Amino acid sequence: MDIQWNILAEYAPFFLKGTLLTIGLSLAGIALGTVLGLFIGLGKMLKNRFLSLPFGIYITFFRGTPMLVQIMLIHFAVVPLFTGETNAVAAAILTLSLNSAAYIAEIFRAGIQSIDKGQMEASRSLGMTHVQAMRYVILPQAFKRMIPPLGNEFIVLIKESSLASLVAAPELMYWGRAMQGQYFRVWEPYITAALIYLVLTLSLSFVLSRLERRLATE
């Protein structure tokens, strides 16, 4: 395997810009997906089946269809519907957020339901409202149990952000494909991209592992 270091040096600034955008897309997707996922998860737990139905449909759709299809629909149909033109970065953020929210919603639901019902009853007997009991008693306990599956979802989100390259968002994989198309080389662009993704996911795994151990001692 003959590695051409000169073309790697030429594309190094582009890989750096792509990595920064990949991090930005992932962080935006994680933040928005977590907030939306909590809301959807609580919505699905509503006792009224009529009210919980839309949340269940949302989760079923985004978990049951490929993200590739989702990003194409959002890029070519949804975003232009509101802005009048396509926007690759906006489409990528929206797709990552909506997709991750469906999975995070189920993580929140499972985490909350894993807490003994007596905790809620005890909180209500102390004069707390349902919202206060969820905020101060249930969610803090559930969050500790949700860290491992949430961490897995965040890692998956970083890797799936590579699909943004298909709609020409200039993230990491976009520049890998550009380098491959210009020089007709495979090893250099894709091994470089793979190593950068590996560093990102390992870094996130380390941070989440430290957070999990810290919360376990509290």
Q: CATH no. for residue 177? A: 1.10.3720.10
Note down the domain range covering 107: 5-216
Residues 203-214: pLDDT tens digits? Answer: 999 998 888 888
Q: Please report the DSSP string for 67-129 in residue order.
A: HHHHHHHIIIIIHHHHHSS--HHHHHHHHHHHHHHHHHHHHHHHHHHTS-HHHHHHHHHTT--
- Confidence band, pLDDT 50/70/90 cuts, at residue 215: confident
What is the number of structural domains in the chain? 1
pLDDT at 28: 96
What is the model's pTM? 0.91
Phi, psi for residue 69 in degrees, rounded to 5: -65, -40
